[in-house]
C-alpha cells in the first residue's frame, strides 16, 4: 500500500516539474518573441510625421535642466521601475519651439504646464523669449494646466490665452532661500561640527554654527532674491498686460482676495486677471479643435508632441557635424571628483569632454555651458586646467552661464576668453569651506562607547569621526582652507585682470546676480547661450552662426536602443506623472529638506576642500 502511494507522489511531482519547466520555457519564448517584435518594429518604423495644420504640444515634466541626469539605459530602467527622475532638457524645448515658428505645418503652440516642476530664472527667460518669437510669427499660443506653479505661470504668461481648471489655482509665493539649521540639534546630542572657512558670506556652513541666518547672509540673499523677483514680475506683468506693482499688490493681498472669493482659488485667479478662462479638460480640447481642427482618428485636436516633432525633423543636438565647428560642452550639476554620468560634473569625465574638443582639429572654439553651484575644489581645478590647455593651444573658450554658476561653477569659468551671464544668473560665491563632524561625546554618554588605540604618529586615527579633533589637525585643515581661498582669488584675479584685494572685496563667499557680476567685473557681458555662441564664432573666425558640435559622453548601442525603444513606446503609453515640487506639496517639501544633506554626502574632494554654494531658490 505504501509503495503505490510513493509512486503516485513521485508521478505527481514529476508532472508538476514538467509543468513548471514548460511554463518557464513558454515565458522565455514569449519574452524573446516580444523583443524580436519590438526590434523589427523599430527597424520598420520610419518615425513620426508632422500633420499639416497641427498644434505642437510642449509639455515639460519635472525639472527643466541643461542636461538629463544619468545615461539613457539607466533612465529607461529607472522609468520601468518607477524610480525615474523626471527631467526635461532645455535645449529640446528651445529647438522645438524655434523650429515650429518657421514650420508651415505647425499652426499653433500648446503649452501643457500641469507637470512642470522647477526651472532657474535664466531658463525661464530663454523659454519666454522663444515663446514670444513664436507669437510674433502670427501663430497662436495656448497655455493650459490644472494648477499653475510659479515656474509654470511664467511660461503661461507669455501665451495668447491661459486656461485653468475650475478646481485649480495660480500660486505665486515669490523667491526665498530657506535652510535647516542644525546647531541646537548638534548641541543637544553633543556632536561637534568642526567648521573651516574663509569669508563671512560663505553661508554654506552656517547651519552647523548657528540656529538662524547670519546678517551677512541675509543681506546677500535679499539682494539676489530681489533682483530675481523683480525680473519675474516684469516678465509676467508684461505678458498679462499689467504692471509689476499691481501684480505685486495682488500677491501681497492674496489672503484677503481669496477670502472675498469664498476660498475659490480658480475664481480668484480669473478675477485677478491672471488667467483668461476656467476650462475643464474637455473644454480645452474643444477650444483646440476649434483652433487647429480635429483628428478624427484620435477624437482630439490635430497635434504632435515635442519628442515626435524633434525626431521627425532630425533636431537631435547630438548629431555629428561635418567641417569646422564650435564645440559645446555642458557642465551641469554638482562638481565631484572622478568620473560621473551626465547631470553631474565629474572632474575626470568633464575634463575628458574638454580634452576631446581640444584634440579635435575641426573644433575651432569651445563654449562651456555652466549650470552648477560647485562642489569639489580639486575636481573644479581639474576641469579648469583642461580648459586652460585648450586656450593655450589656440582654441578660444567662451563661458555661457545658466541659472547658477557659483563657487566651483565660477572656478571652472575662469579659464575663458569671455564670460556671458544672464542678468538673473546666480554667480560669485568665491570661497572655500570644510566640515569635519565628530561624535565621540554622544557615543560615550548614550552608548558607553569610547575609542582608544595606538598609532605610529599623532595623525594616525586623527580623522576618525568617533574621536575628538586633534587641535593640530584643525590648524592644518584651516591652513589648507586659507591656501585654497588664496588660490581661488589668484585664479579670479588672473582671469579678470584684478588685484588680489579687489577680488577679495567682492568674494568672501558672497553670491551675486549676473547683472551685479557684470557691474563688478566678474563677467564680461550679459547675454544668453546664443550670444556666447556668436562670440565664440567670431573669435574662431567662423562667423556669428557657426556649426555646433555638442561634445557629450559616448553613447553605446544599449543607450541608443533604449532611447529608440522608449521614444517608440511613448507613442502608445503615456509617461508616468511627475511629482511636482509645488509649494503646498508635503512630498515636495520633504524632498527639498533632504536635498542638502544628500548633496553634502556627495562632496568628495580628496583634500576635504569644498567650493560649493547652497543657493537653491525656493519658488
> Do the Cβ atoms of 424 and 228 come closer than 8 Å?
yes
**Vertex 187 angle, CA 476 and 470, to 5°:** 20
Three-state DSSP class for residue 407: coil
**Vertex 74 angle, CA 305 and 332, to 5°:** 75
The C-alpha cell at 274 is 491672471
Please state whether 255 falls in left (phi above 0), alpha (psi between -120 and 50) or beta.
alpha
Instruction: Report the C-alpha gap between 299 and 285 in whole angstroms.
Output: 10
DSSP conformation letters of 128-144: HHHHHHHHHTT-EEEEE
DSSP conformation letters of 41-108: HHHH-------TTEEEEE---BEEESS-SS-HHHHHHHHHTT----EEEHHHHHHHHHHHHT-TTEEE
Three-state DSSP class for residue 505: helix
Catalytic residue among 165, 407, 413, 416: 407
Instruction: Report the C-alpha gap between 340 and 346 in whole angstroms.
Output: 5
| Distance of alpha carbon 610 from the chain centroid | 20
Annotated active-site residue 362? The verdict is no
**Vertex 233 angle, CA 284 and 94, to 5°:** 60
Instruction: Report the C-alpha gap between 374 and 371 in whole angstroms.
Output: 9
DSSP state of 555: P
Half-sphere exposure of 41 (CA within 13 A, CB side): 12
Q: How many C-beta atoms surround the C-beta of residue 33 within 10 A?
A: 10
Closest by alpha carbon to 422, among 144, 228, 136? 228
* Mutual angle of helices 377-392 and 471-496, in 10-degree steps: 30
The C-alpha cell at 420 is 556671458
Residue 270: its H or E element: helix 265-271
Max intra-chain CA distance, the chain? 103
Q: How many C-beta atoms surround the C-beta of residue 465 within 10 A?
A: 14
Catalytic residue among 123, 202, 364, 395: 202
Q: How many C-beta atoms surround the C-beta of residue 381 within 10 A?
A: 24
Cα dist. 62→115, 116, 240, 249, 289 in Å?
6, 5, 25, 30, 27
Instruction: Report the C-alpha gap between 390 and 397 in whole angstroms.
Output: 8
> Do the Cβ atoms of 517 and 428 come closer than 8 Å?
yes
Annotated active-site residue 231? The verdict is no
Cα dist. 137→124, 227, 485 in Å?
20, 31, 51
Contacts 24+ apart (CB under 8 A), 234-237: 235/124, 235/125, 235/128, 235/154, 235/157, 235/158, 236/153, 236/154, 236/157, 236/172
Catalytic residues: 202, 407
Amino acid at each position: 500500500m505504501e509503495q503505490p502511494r510513493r509512486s503516485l507522489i513521485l508521478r505527481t511531482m514529476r508532472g508538476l516539474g514538467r509543468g513548471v519547466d514548460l511554463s518557464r520555457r513558454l515565458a522565455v519564448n514569449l519574452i524573446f518573441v516580444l523583443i524580436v517584435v519590438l526590434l523589427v518594429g523599430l527597424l520598420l518604423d520610419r518615425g513620426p510625421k508632422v500633420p499639416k495644420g497641427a498644434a505642437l504640444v510642449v509639455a515639460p515634466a519635472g525639472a527643466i535642466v541643461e542636461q538629463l541626469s544619468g545615461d539613457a539605459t539607466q533612465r529607461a530602467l529607472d522609468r520601468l521601475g518607477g524610480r525615474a527622475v523626471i527631467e526635461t532638457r532645455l535645449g529640446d524645448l528651445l529647438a522645438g519651439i524655434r523650429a515650429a515658428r518657421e514650420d508651415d505645418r505647425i499652426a499653433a503652440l500648446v503649452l501643457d504646464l500641469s507637470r512642470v516642476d522647477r526651472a532657474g530664472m535664466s531658463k525661464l527667460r530663454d523659454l519666454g523669449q522663444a515663446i514670444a518669437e513664436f507669437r510674433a510669427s502670427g501663430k497662436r499660443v495656448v497655455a493650459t494646466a490644472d494648477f499653475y506653479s510659479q515656474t509654470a505661470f511664467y511660461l503661461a504668461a507669455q501665451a495668447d490665452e491661459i486656461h485653468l481648471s475650475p478646481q485649480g489655482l495660480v500660486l505665486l509665493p515669490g523667491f526665498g532661500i530657506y535652510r535647516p539649521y542644525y546647531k541646537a540639534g548638534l548641541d543637544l546630542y553633543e556632536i561637534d561640527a568642526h567648521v573651516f572657512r574663509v569669508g563671512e558670506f560663505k553661508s554654506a556652513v552656517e547651519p552647523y554654527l548657528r540656529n538662524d541666518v547670519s546678517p551677512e547672509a541675509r543681506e546677500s540673499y535679499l539682494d539676489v532674491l530681489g533682483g530675481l523677483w523683480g525680473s519675474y514680475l516684469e516678465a509676467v506683468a508684461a505678458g498679462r498686460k499689467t504692471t509689476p506693482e499691481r501684480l505685486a499688490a495682488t500677491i501681497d493681498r492674496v489672503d484677503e482676495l481669496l477670502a472675498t472669493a469664498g476660498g475659490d482659488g480658480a475664481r480668484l485667479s480669473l478675477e485677478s486677471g491672471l488667467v483668461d478662462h476656467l476650462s475643464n479638460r474637455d473644454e480645452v480640447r474643444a477650444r483646440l479643435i476649434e483652433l487647429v481642427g480635429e483628428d478624427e482618428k484620435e477624437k482630439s485636436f490635430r497635434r504632435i508632441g515635442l519628442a515626435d516633432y524633434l525626431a521627425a525633423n532630425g533636431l537631435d543636438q547630438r548629431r555629428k557635424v561635418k567641417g569646422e565647428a564650435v564645440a559645446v560642452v555642458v557642465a551641469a550639476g554638482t562638481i565631484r571628483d572622478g568620473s560621473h554620468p551626465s547631470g553631474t560634473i565629474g572632474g575626470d569625465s568633464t575634463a575628458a569632454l574638454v580634452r576631446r574638443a581640444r584634440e579635435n582639429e575641426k573644433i575651432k572654439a569651445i563654449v562651456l555651458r555652466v549650470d552648477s553651484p560647485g562642489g569639489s575644489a580639486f575636481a573644479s581645478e581639474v576641469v579648469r586646467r583642461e580648459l586652460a590647455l585648450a586656450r593655450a593651444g589656440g582654441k578660444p573658450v567662451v563661458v555661457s552661464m545658466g541659472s547658477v554658476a557659483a563657487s566651483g561653477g565660477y572656478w571652472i569659468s575662469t579659464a575663458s576668453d569671455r564670460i556671458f551671464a544672464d542678468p538673473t544668473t546666480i554667480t560669485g560665491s568665491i570661497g572655500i569651506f570644510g566640515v569635519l563632524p565628530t561624535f565621540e561625546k554622544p557615543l560615550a554618554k548614550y552608548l558607553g562607547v569610547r575609542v582608544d588605540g595606538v598609532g605610529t604618529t599623532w595623525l594616525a586615527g586623527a580623522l576618525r569621526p568617533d574621536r575628538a579633533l586633534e587641535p593640530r589637525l584643525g590648524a592644518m585643515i584651516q591652513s589648507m582652507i586659507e591656501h585654497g581661498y588664496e588660490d581661488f582669488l589668484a585664479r579670479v584675479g588672473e582671469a579678470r585682470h584684478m588685484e588680489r584685494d579687489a577680488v577679495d572685496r567682492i568674494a568672501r563667499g558672497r553670491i551675486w546676480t549676473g547683472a551685479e557680476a557684470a557691474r563688478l567685473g566678474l563677467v564680461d557681458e550679459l547675454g544668453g547661450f546664443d550670444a556666447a555662441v556668436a562670440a565664440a564664432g567670431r573669435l574662431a573666425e567662423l562667423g556669428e552662426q557657426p556649426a555646433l558640435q555638442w561634445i557629450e559622453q559616448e553613447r553605446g548601442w544599449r543607450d541608443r536602443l533604449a532611447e529608440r525603444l522608449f521614444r517608440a513606446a511613448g507613442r502608445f503609453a503615456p509617461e508616468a506623472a511627475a511629482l511636482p515640487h509645488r509649494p503646498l506639496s508635503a512630498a515636495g517639501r520633504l524632498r527639498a529638506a533632504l536635498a542638502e544633506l544628500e548633496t553634502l554626502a556627495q562632496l568628495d574632494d580628496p583634500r576635504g576642500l569644498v567650493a560649493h554654494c547652497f543657493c537653491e531658490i525656493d519658488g
